[in-house]
Amino acid sequence: MSKVREIEPFDKRSIDLTKFKPDLTAKDIKKLLGPVGTISIFPFLPIETLRPTKTIGRGRTNLTIIAPTIVQIDAAAPFASFDRRTQSRKPAIQMHFQPSGYGITSVATYIMEFTIQAFGQSTFTLDGSAGPGTVLNNGTKVLNGPTRVSLVLQNVPPSQETFGFLEQSSGGSWNWVSVQVRFPDLVATL
């Protein structure tokens, strides 16, 4: 009698998120947004974090997951895996964010941060829309290993439905772990 084998067994690997280094530090964001001086940094908690186990936020905040090779929810650290070499369409993760869904009532700047792990050098397009606002730090990104990639959405009206995406154009496989949106760290120039 043959034993039936699971197609994709439980993944027991854990992920140490402290090893996912951000591409933009608070000082880098300060340089993008204004003049530099002596800096004190006070971080904000995320407004929303979406991941494979939570794909919908408040209002119209949600994810679009394009061409994954597997979405592993029952893993120790849930992930969606992508591989450009096996797809006819470019793999991507996209977050839609509606500030008013979180009770935000004024124009604001947001950081949309994608947490991924690239297994070898891969090239991505980071882009999005801030409506009448401005998108900063967009463009081509060459990534390798665990990293957090940041898109800055500046001067977004509260009713504006924004989005940001990370789309692979070349390279090997990669895992997406989460995407979060937050206010920029409070940076005091003394």
Torsion of CA 59, 148, 134, 50, to 10 degrees: -10
Q: Where are the domains of the chain?
A: 46-185
What's the pTM value of the predicted model, to 2 decimals?
A: 0.81
Eight-state DSSP code of residue 63: E
CATH architecture of 46-185: Sandwich (2.60)
Task: List the chain pLDDT tens, one digit each, 190 residues.
Answer: 566 555 455 566 667 777 777 777 777 777 777 655 555 566 678 999 999 999 999 999 999 998 888 888 887 888 888 888 877 889 999 999 999 999 999 999 999 999 999 999 999 999 999 999 999 999 999 999 999 999 999 999 999 999 999 999 999 999 999 999 999 887 666 6
Eight-state DSSP code of residue 85: G
Q: Both tokens of residue 109?
A: 């700047």
